[in-house]
Structure 1
């Protein structure tokens, strides 16, 4: 009986020590039990661009670390016609504006196991715009480019996501596209003209 009691006592002590060791173990993002999953999305964004209503199409994707942290990239292109007129010395010229942007996407998902949950992604990157003269003929499928400019962009967003299946999520999102570094002389297009609030939907496919 004494041997049994000693064995039980020794077992309890050993379990206590092991539990203490587990409690003292450092918690890291990339630990032994880290989960890495991937996804890709098709995104639709409604916004203003050069003070006109605009539609951007694109997508983003990457990995989800431990079901919460997003690390990836994305890109979007202007798909709607964005034209404007400039009058100088009683001469009116018509121009089109083309553009797009993309970059690194970081984010955090809150309560991803819930059917409806929230995530906070941010895109940090660069983009470009091109002003084309509509009055000049198209030669060899090339338009007459008047000006080009690159710019820096930051776009934080808030997403309300719904888990449809284990591999499909649909989200509604809203954010703000902040643009800096635009250098265009035509019509004095500025950073503010290309910065705007955004709203859209995303269809995400992957292993969540």
Structure 2
């Protein structure tokens, strides 16, 4: 799995090397449907769905981020993200051995920056860097017999909570769908340092991700 993430990252990186023309203020921003003159200062918000792994199990993570977009190239802002699916805690690391259905929760928040190459082009490349704090905890997760949907007991939410440092570089291919909306598939690699959660070493939390992002704003 990590080999696949690494190969995907390298493919995206070498695709970026093919973008030779740099963006200038005299260019119009091309989209799939129209074009418009670029702004020197703007901003946007984004929602990302990440497909990754935590403790070698599949993890679905939703991320929200946004900030100021400077000179059609550089974003500086903030981001928050958290897992949304059940990530089972092995019985040997369970804080409540009598409650088998314990799940890991992972989240992160901090500074988000992006550098976009040739933003005026319909298809271009963006490099991304997140740096901030991450956390993990265990919570009890129930299954309703009548509809088989998982439910979360918030009364027992905080067990074995742990905080640590996270950095996550990434690269995306970005498509200008409309002058106010962009679609950005890409890959990233999450690096954690200082994790002490039960069964969650830095190696178990670090890993690659495949990302699908929608951006909305003034570009």
Coordinate RMSD, CA, aligned: 2.2
For 2:136, which of 96, 114, 129 is the aligned residue?
129
Q: Shift in Å at residue 144 of structure 1?
A: 6.0
Q: Shift in Å at residue 85 of structure 1?
A: 2.6
**Secondary structure of 1:84's aligned partner:** coil
Q: Shift in Å at residue 141 of structure 1?
A: 4.1
Q: Shift in Å at residue 177 of structure 1?
A: 0.4
Contact between 1:85 and 1:93, CA under 8 Å: does it hold in 2?
no
How many residue pairs end up in the alignment?
Answer: 168
- CA distance in structure 2 between the aligned counterparts of 1:181 and 1:79, rounded to whole angstroms: 23
Structure 1 residue ranges without an equivalent (≥5): 1-33
Q: Shift in Å at residue 132 of structure 1?
A: 3.0
Q: 1:161 corresponds to which residue?
A: 174
Q: Shift in Å at residue 171 of structure 1?
A: 0.5
- Look at both structures and tell me which one has the larger radius of gyration over its CA atoms: 1
Whether 1:79 aligns to 2:97 is no
Whether 1:114 aligns to 2:121 is yes
Q: 1:48 corresponds to which residue?
A: 53
- CA distance in structure 2 between the aligned counterparts of 1:80 and 1:106, rounded to whole angstroms: 27
Q: 2:159 corresponds to which residue?
A: 146
Contact between 1:72 and 1:106, CA under 8 Å: does it hold in 2?
yes
Moved >4 Å (runs of 4+)? none
Q: Shift in Å at residue 101 of structure 1?
A: 0.4
Q: 1:128 to 1:162 in 2, by over 3 A?
A: same
TM-score where L is the length of structure 2? 0.71
Q: 1:30 corresponds to which residue?
A: none
Structure 2 residue ranges without an equivalent (≥5): 1-38, 143-150
Whether 1:177 aligns to 2:190 is yes
Q: 1:67 corresponds to which residue?
A: 72
Whether 1:195 aligns to 2:206 is yes
TM-score where L is the length of structure 1? 0.74
